[in-house]
Structure 1
């Protein structure tokens, strides 16, 4: 191949650089928002462990939670060492997988956004928690959001239950393309999506059965085991599998230089290598934040309009955490129950 055929046209370089700049700015905006909200949460005094209901849960549940938290910590340390720290020590640079794992970890920021307009997803005050940063998010709607006991293990799970499955999905896509060289991108994504649906259904069936977290408010007609303490909305799998396949596509569809879509063009920036690496991280962070926002958190606000709290949770204060239900000024979601705003004193009509 002659040298002339390998030269990228200047206008193409400019276009890629401009697109990359937008991705970097977009990711930077997300990182700024995350930094602001978490800092405000810590310095405001809302960074407190929610212990409402502790001591009322079964002993087996306490033992399970403590064991699970240790398991989560070990998994997280291993993943960060394997994909982030060790490659950096060996090569002096962060690998794509390392940046991808970090970006997936930061998706934890949107973990409790499912509760933006209605209290749907329940953690447990039994778990290690420090309340939540939700009330410090501009535009947040649901009241008493600082009490939502976001489990610390749920944050670590974005490394081992999000990043790792997404990378596994990328490998699955590679396997499919080798097995069926002529497969279209649409079919490749569709098959991977269905595989993630099966994976998520098995995974979350275990988690909800053990009450590690719970879908408190669901649409009963679209849920399995509705009315029990392990009810499971089928649309959860529909949405979360979408997040998984989005992330798998980010990881899989890279060019011959190993660059994911938002990174392409960053190499043309006239900055040092360390700054370029940081810009790459910002671009990937922005893409990962979009994945959960578009496929999960926005659709869930529509589901929330038709959801209702199972009565079984009203008798389990360690799940509700004082956000709604008995002993509070707010009724939990249900038919005829007004949706409160952050400045509402109550949503009770009588």
Structure 2
């Protein structure tokens, strides 16, 4: 089962990294930034932290109310389990740079089999982006739900099937665009590669490849939303949980959770693969134009 594979592999990668002393929090270069840029970084990290806290409280309350591990709680665990895959976005070449002025650790990328990104000793993983930032993906699902329920369904109440799915993916991409712009302008990260015809502000440190926005919207939010939607509308025996009714009742919660974990981790792999392949056509952002200690 994919869920078991990703959990075991992630534990193996992170265990080796921790054993070699990788779990050390640090901040580098923050004092060299202006007060406004320092504030922007702390606000960005605070937004992620607040989102995580709200998601955890909501999931715990839901589980306590229903006296079981709910599907939404399984989604939370699935998003939480994704973090170890973060270095895959730079699997072969660096298209993503994090700001070392944020709270961070060293990257565990070198402990992932086959990972050959350049400048391995300089890469970092921010606590509120590369780590807990993945957990905040739950919020994207509920933002999509709000737009679909309060706007799209009111305008097109008979929207069904493939058109519904394509609309969801489009909404996911549109929601992600301003969020990515906010985090980029805050100085949290810089995307160093992008195909100019599909990149906003191409050539600047704050450039935003639209193919990245499309991939993150589809794989990280859109597809998980569709799985949750069909689970609610059609019952548990749908999409990734098809056939779960044949599983003994006392094992269904475990099987459901592992299926969700496997699916969400696979979504990250698909996103990284698509972004990596599309990055082959892009170039590097000018090194001299980086105002933050990006690594």
Give TM-score, length-normalised by structure 1: 0.75
Shift of 1:54: 4.5
Q: Alignment partner of 2:105: what SS?
A: coil
C-alpha distance in 1, partners of 2:213/2:37? Answer: 25
Question: Are 1:188 and 2:185 an aligned pair?
Answer: no
Shift of 1:236: 1.2
C-alpha distance in 1, partners of 2:145/2:96? Answer: 28
Q: 1:262 aligns with which of 235, 240, 257?
A: 240
Contact in 2 for aligned 1:173/1:252 (Cα 8 Å): no
Deviations 1:159-215 (A, max 9, x none): 33x212223434655665676454342111111222222212221122212222211
Contact in 2 for aligned 1:127/1:151 (Cα 8 Å): yes
Computing the radius of gyration from Cα coordinates, the structure with the larger value is 1
For 1:152-167, list aligned pairs within 5 A.
152-154=127-129, 155-160=131-136, 162-167=137-142
Shift of 1:122: 1.1
Shift of 1:302: 1.4
Shift in alpha-carbon separation, 1:30–1:303, aligned structure 2, 3 A: same
Shift of 1:35: 0.9
Contact in 1 for aligned 2:169/2:222 (Cα 8 Å): yes
Query: Residue 27 of structure 1 corresponds to which residue in structure 2?
Result: 3
Question: Are 1:253 and 2:230 an aligned pair?
Answer: yes
Shift in alpha-carbon separation, 1:264–1:208, aligned structure 2, 3 A: same
Q: 1:299 aligns with which of 263, 274, 279?
A: 274
Question: Are 1:231 and 2:207 an aligned pair?
Answer: yes
Query: Residue 197 of structure 1 corresponds to which residue in structure 2?
Result: 173
After superposing the two structures, state which structure 1 stretch, 162-171 or 89-98, moved more: 162-171
C-alpha distance in 1, partners of 2:290/2:244? Answer: 54
Deviations 1:49-76 (A, max 9, x none): 4655443333322222223323322321
Q: Determine which structure has the larger helix proportion and give its number.
A: 2
Matched residues, number? 291
Q: Alignment partner of 2:294: what SS?
A: helix
Q: 2:33 aligns with which of 26, 45, 57?
A: 57
Q: CA RMSD in A?
A: 2.5
Deviations 1:211-247 (A, max 9, x none): 2221122223321111222111111122112112111
For structure 2, list consecutive stretches of 5 or more residues without a partner in the other structure: none
Contact in 2 for aligned 1:196/1:245 (Cα 8 Å): yes
C-alpha distance in 1, partners of 2:253/2:228? Answer: 17
Shift of 1:277: 1.9
Query: Residue 220 of structure 1 corresponds to which residue in structure 2?
Result: 196
C-alpha distance in 1, partners of 2:122/2:288? Answer: 16
After superposing the two structures, state which structure 1 stretch, 59-68 or 307-316, moved more: 307-316
Contact in 2 for aligned 1:53/1:316 (Cα 8 Å): no
Q: 1:77 aligns with which of 48, 53, 56?
A: 53
Shift in alpha-carbon separation, 1:26–1:315, aligned structure 2, 3 A: closer
Query: Residue 120 of structure 1 corresponds to which residue in structure 2?
Result: 95
